[in-house]
Amino acid sequence: MTKRIMVVEDNDLNRKLFCDVLRANGFEVEPVAEGDKVLDTARAVSPDLIIMDIQLGGVSGVDLIEAAKRDRRLAAIPVLAVTAFAAKGDEERIRAAGAAGYLSKPVSISPFMNAVRELLPAA
């Protein structure tokens, strides 16, 4: 069965790139640009993985990860955090919020796909 990945990214070019790469690798993709739609969309589509930008307009990706982990229906979904602001201590803070994986931007395709495959539950 095809794995579904939700891509949360407010930058149009990054979202398109992530979605195109994932589709080219055989995944179904659910793009989300607005942080306020993340939790409702995740509940509606039940993705196998969430790729979460940390710097979203109006809401922190860290807060969204924490909210998803508190939600009974979303808690088991692994989250791959992606951020352009990789300061000292950020990875620890983001993982403490519940992210299973962490990548800093700019993201190269090979490490990105390796991280995605590592976090997806076996089919």
CA dihedral for 91, 92, 96, 102, sign (positive or negative): positive
Q: What is the pLDDT of residues 63-121, one digit of tens each?
A: 999 999 999 999 999 999 999 877 788 899 999 999 999 999 889 999 999 999 999 97
Q: What is the pLDDT of residues 56-69, one digit of tens each?
A: 988 999 999 999 99
Structure tokens at 21: 């790469």
Q: Mean pLDDT over residues 41-48, rounded?
A: 98
56 CB neighbour count, 10 Å cutoff? 22
Q: Mean pLDDT over residues 14-21, rounded?
A: 97
Full-model pTM:
0.95
